[in-house]
Amino acid sequence: MTLVLTVVIVALIFEYINGFHDTANSIATVVSTKVLTPRMAIVLAALTNLAGALFGTAVAKTISSGLVDSAFVTTETIICALLGGIFWNLLTWWFGMPSSSSHALIGGLCGATLATAGGNWSSLLWAQEPAAGKAWYAGSGLYYKVVLPMVSSPIMGLLLGFLVMSVLYLVCSLLRPRIVSSVFGRLQIVSAGIMGFSHGQNDAQKTMGIIALALLAGTSAGDLKDIPDWLGFLRIESLGEDKDQIPLWIKIACALTMAAGTAAGGWRIIKTLGHKMVKLQPVHGFAAETTAATVLFTAAHFGMPVSTTHAITTSIMGVGAAKRFSAIKWGVVERIVWAWIFTIPATAGLSYLLFRLFGTPVTP
């Protein structure tokens, strides 16, 4: 029981730290454009993240069953995966770099599972081709659910942000500057809410999947059979045939924990995205948030755990490039990209070492 509860606690700590990174991304533009104060933006993010977290479980399903062989996933595996992700998130947060909590979790899960399997690479589910007649996104495994979205979502964010902002420049040229600021100031509140909703729909589900998987394993192993009746909600007998049934209390706990993390330490990331990379006005913030939310909605629909960080950052780049390429501070962009590149291998390596030091391998 102790080990299972440790997983839940560590998972919620990860979600709290996720708030430093990814929820901060969802409100960075609305704060930097001064449409909302940080406190008001955090309240908006908390409410919309909660709503998004309660809507659908496709991403949770991918995390809990679509990336690694569950035969090699133990409670120790999950703890090491989460600790690797936590360490990397804290490191990049300290330097104000908006790295991906999604990829930190995925890298940690892959590295810890590989260590659990004693270095057996078949424990990682690389790619399963879609059934005959199905589109490419119906495939499963790391290639279809992680690698392809990791490449395509930033490109989509960059191009769509450029296109949306270019169209808005044409519209704004017909309006007075005061009207533009007034109208898009109001519209940005809406786009920020949609961004928060899409973030909750995508990111909060990742930790939900981890917690549900751990509690299911603990219940199946009998680790929770002697817990008091008032803790009976921790027992999960089944997640359904496609693991879509995530208990409501897990969804609410993850959403609220993420919001608390945003309130505690999100300003470092907000400063990098909203001030250092490109100067934003309400119309720019509206374009960036609308673009990023579109990318996240699309990914969540197909169960792809894409990075909110990548989506909003590249959307801001695209919006800035529509103004002029020199408006983007490319030195800051370069530092962000390096953080993206190293996230999965770094967290995989950390989690692998943690398990080798403290875990017990599983013999197939």
pTM: 0.81
Alpha-helical runs (H) found in the chain: 2-18, 24-32, 38-53, 58-65, 75-94, 101-116, 142, 148-172, 177-199, 205-220, 248-265, 267-271, 282-301, 308-323, 330-358
Q: Out of 106-120, 270-284, 349-363, pick the least confident.
A: 270-284
- Most confidently predicted of 120-134, 175-189, 216-230, 273-287: 175-189
Q: Report yes or no on 286 lying in a domain.
A: yes
Give the pLDDT confidence of 33-66 residue by residue, as tens digits. Answer: 888 887 788 788 778 877 887 776 666 666 766 7
Q: Report yes or no on 212 lying in a domain.
A: yes
Residue 247 pLDDT > 70:
yes
Count of domains forming the chain: 1
Over residues 336-348, mean pLDDT: 87
- Most confidently predicted of 167-181, 205-219, 322-336: 167-181
Over residues 351-355, mean pLDDT: 97
Over residues 175-182, mean pLDDT: 85
Q: Report yes or no on 364 lying in a domain.
A: no
Q: Report yes or no on 168 lying in a domain.
A: yes
Over residues 81-105, mean pLDDT: 85
What is the rounded distance in angstroms from the CA atom of residue 241 to the CA atom of residue 243?
Answer: 6
**Whole-number pLDDT of residue 58:** 64
**Whole-number pLDDT of residue 74:** 84
**Whole-number pLDDT of residue 242:** 45
Q: Report yes or no on 363 lying in a domain.
A: no
Q: Report yes or no on 25 lying in a domain.
A: yes
More confident residue, 94 or 78: 78
Nearest Cα residue to 60 out of 241, 207, 226, 167: 207
Q: What percent of the chain has pLDDT over 90?
A: 19
Cβ within 8 Å of residue 301, ≥6 positions away? 58
User: Could you list the residue range(s) of the whole structural domain that residue 17 is in?
Assistant: 2-358
**What does DSSP assign to residue 140?**
B
Cβ within 8 Å of residue 326, ≥6 positions away? none
**Whole-number pLDDT of residue 24:** 65
**Whole-number pLDDT of residue 335:** 76
- Most confidently predicted of 102-111, 181-190, 345-354: 345-354
Please give the distance of CA 129 from its chain centroid, rounded to a whole number.
Answer: 25
**Whole-number pLDDT of residue 70:** 78
Over residues 205-220, mean pLDDT: 79
In whole numbers, what is the pLDDT of the chain averaged over residues?
A: 81
Find the distance separating the first CA and the last CA of the chain, reported in whole Å: 24
**What does DSSP assign to residue 124?**
B
**Whole-number pLDDT of residue 71:** 82
Over residues 18-23, mean pLDDT: 69
Residues paired with 68 in a beta bridge = 124
Nearest Cα residue to 60 out of 191, 234, 210: 210
Q: Which pLDDT band, with edges at 50, 70 and 90, does 259 fall under?
A: confident
More confident residue, 62 or 175: 175
**Whole-number pLDDT of residue 21:** 66
What is the rounded distance in angstroms from the CA atom of residue 238 to the CA atom of residue 284?
Answer: 46
Q: Report yes or no on 55 lying in a domain.
A: yes
Q: Which pLDDT band, with edges at 50, 70 and 90, does 190 fall under?
A: very high
Cβ within 8 Å of residue 169, ≥6 positions away? 322, 323
Q: Report yes or no on 276 lying in a domain.
A: yes
What is the rounded distance in angstroms from the CA atom of residue 202 to the CA atom of residue 52?
Answer: 8
